[in-house]
Structure 1
């Protein structure tokens, strides 16, 4: 079984069966099949109606607990489907971390075979983001664990972003002939890094904090009948400034991006900070996952190429007044 992190906790179907026998014996003999794996969790489909998520690391287990606490409270107020926890798995000898079982949500990830109209999809995503950001915030004493770097300012990230740019450049220089060499040259890393630095000179965000999903990349969206149906994987759920929330729009085709920006109507500074976040997360993912998960690293690279392809296109020249 592929591992992505040095501190990863291994788990397989046999261990999951032991967990189920101990904690939910009525499910223990249901059909079990891998249902994908992300950078933070492994998933198994359990029977026809359930999904098991097992965190890869102890840090990811904290995100699982956060979903268990907040999704039942936030989900009913949202105009799209979200995962519904039906069992809060507790650590035991078979698996030493918290884990979850959710109701299965039928749908496919956004792609040419599932989205009927990319412009409409971009507008739907903007409406989903707006609905999440409009939810009332909890009291201050309930916000423990709900801060994350992507809801903060850019400046505290400058050191590690610089190191990730350096790592990508070093990997390119050291690539063996015929293997990856030249793949990152067309990224124009100098231009991307320049845009990051320009964003550091922008005023800090000043708007009120909002609920944030934290990682609205396509693999965390589900489509049904050609339209956005569900948002999944709320492990990055947090409260903060919304700039980074917009960054995954560069993972979508250009018509979806244009429609998203038209519907979201961001201020110029928000759009530029969102682009900087897209660059930072993309470069970090390309650096960290280049060898560990080449498929995900390729997705990060595609995001950076989309940022470059857009150039200054779509950057607002004024702050919307409505």
Structure 2
């Protein structure tokens, strides 16, 4: 998340609007202080008191993502070894705000994207544990995300078009994409996929991972798009620990890791798309490119 709004924001959720929605729908929470507003790519979050937060979509395309979290996080949270923002209350449209919204727990810690890279290795196995617990076969009615967990072949032309000459380490990014498409595709039952476990959606406190947030891209499919976090979040030492623990728990084949590296390469252009509005995520993009180039 970041302190600046996405350029495509459609509704600005001010403190007055958030407070009015609480008064109307959750009056027992309406007297708690609102503070610390932060914008993500699809949502805005207001901290509510010390223990809660309000999560609002800011554009029509993201409105269904909050509803997905409301439907599924309560199901998934008990199986995960790390805290997640499973909604404790839900909100409905009102006061001119057109979409569903949520009251969620506030997870303590710092957004990992704002932390130094090397110390993240201390909790690399904790992230591996969390994703391994999530990456289990999903039910038939699990949501499908057309952009995550899908075969690379379905997205590679868009990925290649975005991988322009001005990107850092562009030759390595293109080679990683080519290798991922050439690798055998996922041929097992679809597993739950977070969809976006980059450092902006991780929370850590010291030597521990304290939160996995933003499940709006939740879906079912190939876990490789999640495992790309090995290059997005860690340096070589942290990645080695993450991969080793993941292999101990899930034993993915080499093709899955080749596809994961390709997914990491594909995210670089997206992360660097709005460097002025999202400088922290742009730095994640530069880091990812360097790590993909390093292997």
Instruction: Report the CA distance shift for 1:112/1:198 in structure 2 as closer, same or farther (over 3 A).
Output: closer
What are the Cα deviations for residues 198-224 of structure 1, in whole angstroms up to 9, with x where unaligned? 321222111221111111112322224
**Structure-2 residue corresponding to 1:157:** 155
Contact 1:116–1:227 (Cα < 8 Å) also in 2: no
**Structure-2 residue corresponding to 1:38:** 40
**Structure-2 residue corresponding to 1:295:** 280
Distance 1:111 1:87 in 2: 28
Distance 1:111 1:299 in 2: 7
**Structure-2 residue corresponding to 1:320:** none
**Structure-1 residue corresponding to 2:245:** 263
- C-alpha displacement of 1:7: 5.5
Tell me the secondary structure at the aligned position of residue 105 of structure 1: coil
Distance 1:116 1:3 in 2: 29
- C-alpha displacement of 1:268: 1.6
Tell me the secondary structure at the aligned position of residue 150 of structure 1: coil
**Structure-2 residue corresponding to 1:49:** 51
Instruction: Report the CA distance shift for 1:2/1:56 in structure 2 as closer, same or farther (over 3 A).
Output: same
- Pairs within 5 Å for 1:83-102: 83-102=85-104
Distance 2:277 2:38 in 1: 16
Distance 2:83 2:26 in 1: 25
Instruction: Report the CA distance shift for 1:295/1:13 in structure 2 as closer, same or farther (over 3 A).
Output: same
- C-alpha displacement of 1:120: 4.1
Instruction: Report the CA distance shift for 1:255/1:35 in structure 2 as closer, same or farther (over 3 A).
Output: farther
- C-alpha displacement of 1:96: 1.3
TM-score, normalised by the number of residues in structure 1: 0.82
Distance 1:5 1:77 in 2: 36
**Structure-2 residue corresponding to 1:177:** none
**Structure-2 residue corresponding to 1:214:** 195
TM-score, normalised by the number of residues in structure 2: 0.88
Distance 1:282 1:154 in 2: 15
Where in structure 2 are there 5+ consecutive unaligned residues? none
Contact 1:114–1:225 (Cα < 8 Å) also in 2: no
Name which of 212, 215, 230 aligns with 1:231.
212
**Structure-2 residue corresponding to 1:272:** 258
Instruction: Report the CA distance shift for 1:107/1:306 in structure 2 as closer, same or farther (over 3 A).
Output: same
Instruction: Report the CA distance shift for 1:35/1:257 in structure 2 as closer, same or farther (over 3 A).
Output: farther
**Structure-2 residue corresponding to 1:249:** 230
Distance 1:59 1:111 in 2: 24
Query: What number of residue pairs does the alignment pair up?
Result: 288
Contact 2:4–2:38 (Cα < 8 Å) also in 1: no
Name which of 119, 124, 127 aligns with 1:125.
127
Contact 1:114–1:226 (Cα < 8 Å) also in 2: no
**Structure-1 residue corresponding to 2:138:** 137
Structure possessing the higher radius of gyration over alpha carbons: 1
- Pairs within 5 Å for 1:176-191: 184=167, 187-191=168-172
Instruction: Report the CA distance shift for 1:222/1:284 in structure 2 as closer, same or farther (over 3 A).
Output: closer
Give the RMSD, CA atoms, in angstroms: 2.4
Distance 1:81 1:244 in 2: 21
Tell me the secondary structure at the aligned position of residue 111 of structure 2: coil
Contact 1:114–1:223 (Cα < 8 Å) also in 2: no
Instruction: Report the CA distance shift for 1:196/1:114 in structure 2 as closer, same or farther (over 3 A).
Output: closer
**Structure-1 residue corresponding to 2:5:** 3
